């Protein structure tokens, strides 16, 4: 019987382990932290009984993921339930206005008024054929596409800067709504390919919504661990792997780590050109996270924001373009782009009486050492006057804290690598098999590999399948 070790228990690590174990390998996952899950953990961070997601909050990509879809009945058996908010995304603007996206394309288009037609022309075809699109988009760029015409059509749009795509909308609401989704790329929105993430995440929202996991994102990790155990896999926590020498005699090693950590772990055995590529791998801007316990929830001026699972805070498209550009250049701004999630609206089990958990993070420069809490609160207050009086507790964690929490977040980069044009297409290096390290049996499977960041497990699934092909 062949054996495998997976270093790291994020969604990609656990998915890689499941694919290998289901193929008959004897598999062990080794996790540095005391708890499993990587970016899918939850904890009572502020006050007892109020459950916060430490990292991932909302999970459109999990619903889109072919690998997770395949496991859906098993994950449900192990306690995973998705819950949808009434409004998927709201994007407040000054004066009480907001761009609003719900799962229904018709309803969203109706809400966007004169821009509804252009929204439908952009997202209708992508949504109708979303499963086909995902089949190709969630794989390495160099492959024979299953749906070449569909992929080519998407590719032509995705190659553009987000600001170009946004020109088709005239209202602040529609333009900001798209900019908020596009800003998940954490790159300047004037760069080529910066439209790609906004197009995918919005179509993903119309196809599946932006749901949360009942009982916290940790439940996704727990359910994946349950599926792994069913397949005979084991998990060891509290052990950091520092060198490949610790894993002698193992047929397949999967590294759910950053490329830099992979270079450290594999050391001199790594072919020189691969080591060089891993060392030169670029980090993106960082996150500064602020978790709040809020009595009665955030008093957003706009009513749709009070019903939204995710609120994109950053003002107009032009304001987001300016703040994202500055942060990418290493300059902190007074009005950063931010994500605010109100998971409790879809999953009331997370609250304690009238005290609700609110999850927020701002984009800040990589390695930023200041405290962005005030900037975050000011931005929320701009669209929700009176919020400060309702905050009963708060906990902040900046880039250094995030990296200490999870070594994959180098400098606080929560996407495990910049999604600049080159690394959007080729990560962690230019190669037909980007998962293979060049050392027999050793693979990288983290968000530093295609298709990149997010809870979807596709890096892990793709890497494990590449390993199985070589093993046979």
Q: Is position 261 an interface residue for ligand FAD (rule: CB under 6 A)? A: yes
Q: Is position 343 an interface residue for ligand FAD (rule: CB under 6 A)? A: no
Of the candidates 5, 12, 179, 277, which one interacts with ligand FAD according to CB under 6 A? 12
Closest separation in Å from C-beta 401 to ligand FAD: 11
Closest separation in Å from C-beta 164 to ligand FAD: 26
Nearer residue to ligand FAD within complex by CB, 57 or 345: 57
Of the candidates 101, 453, 463, 464, which one interacts with ligand FAD according to CB under 6 A? 453
**Residues between 13 and 52 that touch ligand FAD (CB under 6 A):** 13, 30-33, 38-40
**Residues between 53 and 82 that touch ligand FAD (CB under 6 A):** 55-59, 61
Q: Is position 364 an interface residue for ligand FAD (rule: CB under 6 A)? A: no
Q: Is position 451 an interface residue for ligand FAD (rule: CB under 6 A)? A: no
Number of residues that bind ligand FAD (CB under 6 A): 41
Q: Is position 8 an interface residue for ligand FAD (rule: CB under 6 A)? A: yes
Q: Is position 463 an interface residue for ligand FAD (rule: CB under 6 A)? A: no
Q: Is position 183 an interface residue for ligand FAD (rule: CB under 6 A)? A: no
Closest separation in Å from C-beta 453 to ligand FAD: 4
Closest separation in Å from C-beta 321 to ligand FAD: 22
Nearer residue to ligand FAD within complex by CB, 98 or 410: 410
Nearer residue to ligand FAD within complex by CB, 190 or 242: 242
**Residues between 195 and 254 that touch ligand FAD (CB under 6 A):** 240-241
Question: Which H, E and C letters describe the chain, residue by residue?
Answer: CCEEEEECCCHHHHHHHHHHHHCCCEEEEECCCCCCCCCCCEECCCCCCCCEECCCCCCHHHHHCHHHHHHHHHHHHCCCCEECCCEEEEEECHHHCEEEECCCHHHHHHHCHHHHHHHHHHHHHHHHCHHHHHHHHCCCCCCCCCCHHHHHHHHHHHCCCHHHHHHHCCCHHHHHHHHHHHHHHCCCCCCCCCHHHHHHHHHHHHHHCCCEECCCCHHHHHHHHHHHHHCCCEEECCCCCCCHHHHCCCCEEEECCCHHHHHHHHHHHCCHHHHHHHHHCCCCCEEEEEEEEEECCCCCCCCHHHHEEEEEECCCHHHHHHHHHHHHCCCCCCCCCEEEECHHHCCHHHCECCEEEEEEEEEECCCCCCCCHHHHHHHHHHHCCCHHHHEEEEEEECHHHHHHHCCCCHHHCCCCCCCCHHHHHCCCCCCCCCCECCCCCEEECCCCCCCCCCCCCHHHHHHHHHHHHHHC
Q: Is position 410 an interface residue for ligand FAD (rule: CB under 6 A)? A: no
Closest separation in Å from C-beta 210 to ligand FAD: 9
Q: Is position 140 an interface residue for ligand FAD (rule: CB under 6 A)? A: no
What is the contact surface with ligand FAD in residues (CB under 6 A)? 7-13, 30-33, 38-40, 55-59, 61, 240-241, 256-257, 261, 287, 289, 361, 402, 406-409, 414, 416, 446-447, 453-455, 459
């Amino acid at each position: 019987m062949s054996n495998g070790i997976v270093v790291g228990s994020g969604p990609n690590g656990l998915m890689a382990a499941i694919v290998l174990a289901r193929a008959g390998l004897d598999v062990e996952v080794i996790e540095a932290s005391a708890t499993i899950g990587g970016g899918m953990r939850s904890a009572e961070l502020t006050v007892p009984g109020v459950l916060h997601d430490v990292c991932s909050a909302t999970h459109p990509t999990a619903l889109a993921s072919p690998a997770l879809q395949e496991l859906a009945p098993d994950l449900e058996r192990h306690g995973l339930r998705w819950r949808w908010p009434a409004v998927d995304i709201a994007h407040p603007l000054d004066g009480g206005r907001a761009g609003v996206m719900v799962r229904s394309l018709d309803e969203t288009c109706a809400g966007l008024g004169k821009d509804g037609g252009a929204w439908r022309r952009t997202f209708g075809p992508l949504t109708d054929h979303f499963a086909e699109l995902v089949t190709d988009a969630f794989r390495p760029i160099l492959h024979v596409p299953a749906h070449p015409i569909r992929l080519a059509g998407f590719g032509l749009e995705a190659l553009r800067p987000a600001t170009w795509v946004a020109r088709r909308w005239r209202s602040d609401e529609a333009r900001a709504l798209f900019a908020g989704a596009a800003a998940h790329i954490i790159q300047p929105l004037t760069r080529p390919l910066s439209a790609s993430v906004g197009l995918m995440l919005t179509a993903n929202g119309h196809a599946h919504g932006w749901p949360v996991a009942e009982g916290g994102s940790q439940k996704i990790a727990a359910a994946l661990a349950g599926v792994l155990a069913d397949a005979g896999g084991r998990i060891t926590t509290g052990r950091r792997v520092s060198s490949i020498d610790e894993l002698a005699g193992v047929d397949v090693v999967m590294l759910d780590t950053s490329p830099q950590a992979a270079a450290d772990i594999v050391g001199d055995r790594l072919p020189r050109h691969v080591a060089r590529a891993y060392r030169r791998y670029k980090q993106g801007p960082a996150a500064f996270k602020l978790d709040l316990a809020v009595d009665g929830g955030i008093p957003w001026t706009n009513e749709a924001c009070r019903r939204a699972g995710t609120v994109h805070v950053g003002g107009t498209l032009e304001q987001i373009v300016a703040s994202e550009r500055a942060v990418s250049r290493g300059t902190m701004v007074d009005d950063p782009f931010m994500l605010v999630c109100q998971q409790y609206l879809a999953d009331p089990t997370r609250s304690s009486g009238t005290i609700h958990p609110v999850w927020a993070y701002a984009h800040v420069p990589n390695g930023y050492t200041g405290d962005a809490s005030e900037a975050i609160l000011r931005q929320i207050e701009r669209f929700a006057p009176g919020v400060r009086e309702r905050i009963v507790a708060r906990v902040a964690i900046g880039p250094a804290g995030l990296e200490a929490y999870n070594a994959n977040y180098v400098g606080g980069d929560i996407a495990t690598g910049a999604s600049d044009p080159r690394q959007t297409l080729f990560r962690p290096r230019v190669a037909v098999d980007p998962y293979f390290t060049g050392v027999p049996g050793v693979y990288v499977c983290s968000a530093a590999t295609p298709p990149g960041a997010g809870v979807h497990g596709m890096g892990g699934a793709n890497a494990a399948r590449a390993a199985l092909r070589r093993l046979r």
